[in-house]
């Protein structure tokens, strides 16, 4: 092992490393976003107040049961097994041919969705009850309350946990090499196989993983800070920010 | 006088604990009614039953001649007719001051954004918070938050305003600014139902005072009668306790 060898392997194979890293980022990013959306939807449905009787109650109870089965199943089984079942299993049993990358995104998404729905549920529970009461008192229904009041606050609060999921996904997409998705681990394996070197390619891959995860954490931290804004309101601190009532009236008249 | 809200035989239990026992009372148009009483007497629960934040166990709530506890009645549109001000303000944390006052108008009443902002600004000016339209709730003091909460409720242009101990979470200095806003509202002829511990406010502003004790209305009447010549023993005791503390 020498630094020169490591440098040589990187210089000779960097397009493969980069393509692998790109694929890893693509799958984990899309997977996390779709997972977040699934989580939010499941969270909203699971917190619909169940009426005491009627057909709506039966429907809600059934839907809630199905959702908990979904969450339990995908949280309770390894992603590597799910990949085999979803990609090769369905191909053999039902003849469904899937694009490898699409299958990868699907697996990561529904997996993340299962975790995120629990995170979102926790986020909804943590919102002050007064926010729900104020929305009720103003005449909002469950959907309006969720969209306009609760979810924006939940998304802010679960951002750290979402970042966590993103980081986990960047690392866990490596199991998709089992269905030959050309992500970073799969590419590294090919390079190692071609050069008969194991330490150097995998060491380079680990550095690339580290760079990706650290960058993601930093970027999310920035977004969080930006969403929070300043802690105090300075009325005349920056004249560009201050909009007096007169200004609004003026702007409106100008538009007419 | 025309009754806006008429509560008949209202009962509410939490498990085996009966908090409201057969309450009958009504609020007429333009009337300011204060509900007083010690903690746990059921006054907040009564107020929360009126806009269905708590579901009454039995009884009727008649609003403009219709029983709103009927299954068919649309509770969402009914709630827009009642403005509610909470002890803990409950401003929407993710909206700034202006949008706190417009979100209900736009999403629930389906008003245009410009119209909603115009209405919101009018009421924010009334409560003296018009300079703060871009501030977020967490950047405001308690008194400021409560004034915005009042403007938010008023922006829906309700028939009745419900106040649930609006000054109880405020420090003594800021209580005054909120009470002043409420006094102005009362003078403007708004129908108001106020649960309060501010005896000075109840005496000065209200048309009628209701004294509640252990889930029943123990006594009701004009403020002069209640405060100067209470008939019931428990009213006397309550007033004595409250007034000797101040």
Residue B240 Cα, gap to closest chain A Cα (Å): 33
For residues B78 and B82, give the distance between their C-alpha atoms in angstroms, rounded to a whole number.
7
Ranges in chain A, pLDDT < 70: 1, 231-232, 234-249, 251-252, 254-256
For residues B217 and B237, give the distance between their C-alpha atoms in angstroms, rounded to a whole number.
15
Q: Would you say the C-alpha torsion A227, A233, A239, A242 has a positive or negative sign?
A: positive
Q: Can you tell me whether residue B85 is helix, strand or coil?
A: strand
List, in sequence order, every residue forming a beta bridge with B85; answer none if it has no partner.
B163
Report residue B16 as tokens.
């085996």
Instruction: Write down the pLDDT at residue A241.
Output: 53
Is A156 in CB contact (< 8 Å) with chain B? yes
For residues B34 and A178, give the distance between their C-alpha atoms in angstroms, rounded to a whole number.
71
Report residue B13 as tokens.
């239990």
Contact residues on chain B for A134, CB-CB shorter than 8 A: 84, 86, 90-92
Instruction: Write down the pLDDT at residue A177.
Output: 92
CB atoms within 10 A of CB B164: 25
Instruction: Write down the pLDDT at residue A1.
Output: 61
Contact B35, B212 (CB under 8 A): yes
For residues A179 and A181, give the distance between their C-alpha atoms in angstroms, rounded to a whole number.
6
For residues A232 and A227, give the distance between their C-alpha atoms in angstroms, rounded to a whole number.
14
Using CB atoms and an 8 Å cut-off, which of residues 43-72 of chain A contact chain B?
none
Provide DSSP, B135-183. Answer: --GGGS-HHHHHHHHHHHHHHT--SEEEEESTTTTS-HHHHHHHHHHHH
Residue with tokens 């200095």: B173
Number of residues assigned to chain B = 246
pLDDT digits (tens, 9 = 90+) for B61-96: 999 888 888 876 788 999 999 999 999 999 999 999
CB atoms within 10 A of CB B23: 22
Using CB atoms and an 8 Å cut-off, which of residues 135-154 of chain A contact chain B?
135-141, 144, 148-149, 152-153
Q: Decide if pLDDT at B35 tops 70.
A: yes
Full-model pTM? 0.83
Q: Which of A49, A129, A134, A254 should we substitute to test contact with B (largest number of B Cβ atoms within 10 Å)?
A: A134
pLDDT digits (tens, 9 = 90+) for B191-210: 999 999 889 999 999 999 99
Residue with tokens 């809600």: A60
- Summarize the confidence of residues B142-159 as an average pLDDT: 94
Residue with tokens 């609004």: A248
pLDDT digits (tens, 9 = 90+) for A146-171: 999 999 999 989 988 999 999 999 99
Instruction: Write down the pLDDT at residue A52.
Output: 78
Contact residues on chain B for A229, CB-CB shorter than 8 A: 136
Contact A170, A28 (CB under 8 A): yes
Instruction: Write down the pLDDT at residue A242.
Output: 54
ipTM of predicted assembly, 2 dp? 0.91
Instruction: Write down the pLDDT at residue B193.
Output: 95
Residue with tokens 């993710």: B94
For residues B154 and B160, give the distance between their C-alpha atoms in angstroms, rounded to a whole number.
9
Instruction: Write down the pLDDT at residue A239.
Output: 47
């Amino acid at each position: 092992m020498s630094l020169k060898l490591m440098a040589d392997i990187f210089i000779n194979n960097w397009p493969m490393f980069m393509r692998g890293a790109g694929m890893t980022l693509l799958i984990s990013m899309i997977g996390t976003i779709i997972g977040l959306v699934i989580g939010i939807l499941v969270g909203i449905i699971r917190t619909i107040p169940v009426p005491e009787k009627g057909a709506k109650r039966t429907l809600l109870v059934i839907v809630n049961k199905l959702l908990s089965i979904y969450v339990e199943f995908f949280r309770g089984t390894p992603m590597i097994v799910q990949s085999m079942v979803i990609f090769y299993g369905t191909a053999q049993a039902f003849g469904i041919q899937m694009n490898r990358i699409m299958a990868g995104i699907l697996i990561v998404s529904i997996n993340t969705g299962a975790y995120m729905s629990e995170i979102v549920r926790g986020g909804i529970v943590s919102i002050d009850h007064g926010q729900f009461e104020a929305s009720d008192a103003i005449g909002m229904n469950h959907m309006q309350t969720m969209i306009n009041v609760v979810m924006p606050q939940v998304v802010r609060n679960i951002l750290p946990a979402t970042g966590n999921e993103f980081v986990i996904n960047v690392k866990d997409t490596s199991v998709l090499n089992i269905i030959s998705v050309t992500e970073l681990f799969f590419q590294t394996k090919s390079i190692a196989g071609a050069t008969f070197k194991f330490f150097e390619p995998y060491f380079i891959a680990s550095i690339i993983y580290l760079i990706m995860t650290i960058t993601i954490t930093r970027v999310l931290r920035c977004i969080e800070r930006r969403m929070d804004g300043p802690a105090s309101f300075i009325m005349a601190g920056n004249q560009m920010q201050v909009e007096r009532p007169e200004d609004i009236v003026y702007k409106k008249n100008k538009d007419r | 006088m025309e009754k806006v809200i008429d509560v008949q035989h209202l009962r509410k239990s939490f498990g085996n604990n009966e908090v409201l026992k057969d309450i009958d009372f009504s609020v007429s148009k333009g009337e300011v009614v204060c509900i007083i009483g010690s903690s746990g007497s059921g006054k907040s629960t009564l107020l929360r039953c009126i806009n269905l934040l708590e579901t009454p166990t039995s009884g009727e709530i008649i609003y403009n001649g219709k029983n709103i506890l009927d299954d068919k009645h649309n509770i969402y549109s009914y709630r827009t007719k009642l403005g509610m001000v909470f002890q803990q303000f409950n401003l929407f944390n993710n909206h700034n001051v202006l949008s706190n006052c417009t979100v209900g108008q736009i999403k629930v009443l389906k008003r245009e954004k410009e119209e909603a902002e115009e209405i919101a600004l009018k009421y924010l000016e009334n409560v003296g918070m018009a300079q703060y339209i871009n501030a977020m709730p967490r950047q405001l003091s308690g008194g400021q938050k409560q004034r915005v909460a009042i403007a938010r409720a008023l922006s829906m242009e309700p028939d009745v305003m419900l106040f649930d101990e609006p000054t109880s979470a405020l420090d003594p200095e800021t209580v005054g600014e909120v009470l002043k806003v409420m006094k102005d509202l009362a003078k403007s002829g708004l129908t108001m139902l106020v649960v309060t511990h501010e005896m000075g406010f109840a005496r000065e502003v209200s048309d009628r005072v209701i004294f509640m004790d252990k889930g029943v209305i123990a006594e009701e009447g004009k403020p002069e009668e209640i405060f100067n010549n209470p008939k019931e023993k428990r009213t006397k005791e309550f007033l004595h306790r409250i007034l000797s503390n101040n």
